Amino acid sequence: MNDAPKTGWLSRLKAGLSRSSSALTQGINDLFTKRKLDAAAIEELEEILITSDLGVATAASLTQKIAAGRFDQEVTSEEIRSALAAEIAQILEPVAIPLELDTSHSPHVILVCGVNGVGKTTTIGKLAQTYVETGKKVVLAAGDTFRAAAIEQLQIWGERTNCPVIATELGKDAAGLAFDALEQAKSMNADILLIDTAGRLQNKTELMAELGKIVRVIGKIDDTAPHSCLLVLDATTGQNAHSQVEIFAEMIDVTGLIVTKLDGSSKGGVLVSLAEKFGLPVHAVGVGEQAEDLRPFKAEDFANSLMGLDG
C-alpha cells in the first residue's frame, strides 16, 4: 500500500478522531487543568479511558503506569495526555505493520472475513483501488453468496476499479467459488486475488466451519494460499472484538486486522487491548467511504490523535 501524502492521511484520521477524542480530551482537561494526581483523580482517569473502549484491564494498567512517579503531584492535562499517548503508542507500535505482498505468489491470495456489517466488501473495493493504482492486476471473488445483493455490491466495485469479478449465484457454495476464482485468477496471470466472504457471527459453528472449508479448498490449488487472511473489525464494536479475533483466529490463520469506521465518534480504543492480547498486525484503518480513505495504520499518529495531541 502506498503512503498518501502525510497531511492527507493525518488530517483525515484526525478529523475523524478529533470529534471522538474531543470528548476524551475534554474529560481529561476537565480533570486536570492543574490538579493533584490523587486516588480519586486516578479513578476518574481510568473511567475516561474505559469510555473509549480500552477495556477495564487495559485502562487500569495504563492508569497505573501514568500514576507511577506522579502520585500526589500537581499535573496538567497536557502532561497526562502526552504520557498516555506515549504509552499507547508503545503498545501499538509492534502491530503497526503494513500489508506486504509476496510477488513470488501468482496471485497473492487475500481472504477477507469478519462479522456482519463491518465493511468487508467496501474494504475490498478500497484495497482493489489501491493496488490497481500501483499497477497491479487485481481479481475480485464474490464469495458472499448468502446476503442479498452482496454479489452486485462487489460487482459495482469491480466496475469502478476495472477489476474482473468472479461470481456465482446466490446460495451457491462459497468454497467452490473461491476455488474457481483462484483458477481463473491464475489463468489471467493476476497479481492479487481478493476474496470476499459472507459476514458471520463468530459463535455460529457451521458458518465458521464454512470459512475453514474455503481455506482448505483454496489450498488444494496452491498450498501456500491464502497468503493473507484479513479480519475486518468495526471500530464501533466494544469488547466483543476480543471474542471476534479469538474465534476467527482459531478457525483460520488470521494474519492481520483492518479497522473500519474510524471516522465516526467511536474511538476504536479496543485496538489497544487487542494489540496487548493478540499482537496481530493492524494493516490499515478506514476513515471514510471513499477508496482513498483506507490508510496504513500508524501507532504514534493513532495514539496522538486519540489523545487529541498534534502529531
Partner 1 sequence: MFDGLSDKFGDIFDRLKKRGALSESDVSEAMREIRVALLEADVALPVVKEFIDGVKEQAVGHDVLKSVTPGQMVIKVVNDHLIEMLGPEDAEINLAATAPVPILMVGLQGSGKTTTTGKLALRLKNRDRKKVLVAGLDVARPAAQEQLAQLAKQAEVECLVSVFGEQPVGIAKRAMDTGRREGFDVVILDTAGRLAIDQALMSEVADIRNTVAPAETLLVADAMSGQDAVNVAKEFNEKIGITGIVLTRVDGDARGGAALSMRSVTGCPIKLMGVGEKLDALESFQAERIAGRILGMGDVVGLVEKAAEVVDQEKAEKIAKRAMKGQFTLEDLQEQLAQVKKMGDLGGLMGMLPGVGKMKKQIAEANIDDRMIARQEAIILSMTPKERRNPKLLNAKRRKRIAAGSGTSVQDVNRLLKQYQQMSSMMKKMGKKGMQGMMPGGMPGGMMPPPGMKF
- Binding-site ranges for partner 1 (CB under 8 A): 19-20, 23, 47, 50-53, 55-56, 115-119, 122, 125, 146-150, 152-153, 155-157, 170, 201-206, 234, 236-240, 243, 261, 263-267, 269-270, 289
Q: Which is nearer to partner 1, 228 or 244 (CB)?
A: 244
Starting at the edge strand found earlier in the chain, the sheet holding 165-166 runs 165-166, 138-141, 192-196, 108-113, 228-234, 256-260, 282-286, 294-296
β-partners of residue 234 are 260
- Closest contact distance (angstroms) between CB of 231 and partner 1 is 14
Closest approach of Cβ 74 to partner 1, in Å? 26
Tell me how far, at minimum, the Cβ of 117 lies from partner 1, in Å: 3
The two beta strands, 165-166 and 192-196, are unpaired
Least distance to partner 1 from the beta carbon of 149, Å? 3
Which of 253, 289 has the CB closer to partner 1? 289
Cβ-contact 198, 112 below 8 angstroms: no
- Nearest residue (CB) to partner 1, 24 versus 37: 24
Least distance to partner 1, CB of residue 243, Å? 6
CB 121 within 8 A of CB 114: no
Q: How far is the CB of 236 from partner 1 (least distance, A)?
A: 6
CA distances from residue 138 to 31, 121, 180, 192, 309 in whole angstroms, order as listed: 51, 15, 15, 5, 38
Rounded Cα gap, residues 121 and 123, in angstroms? 5
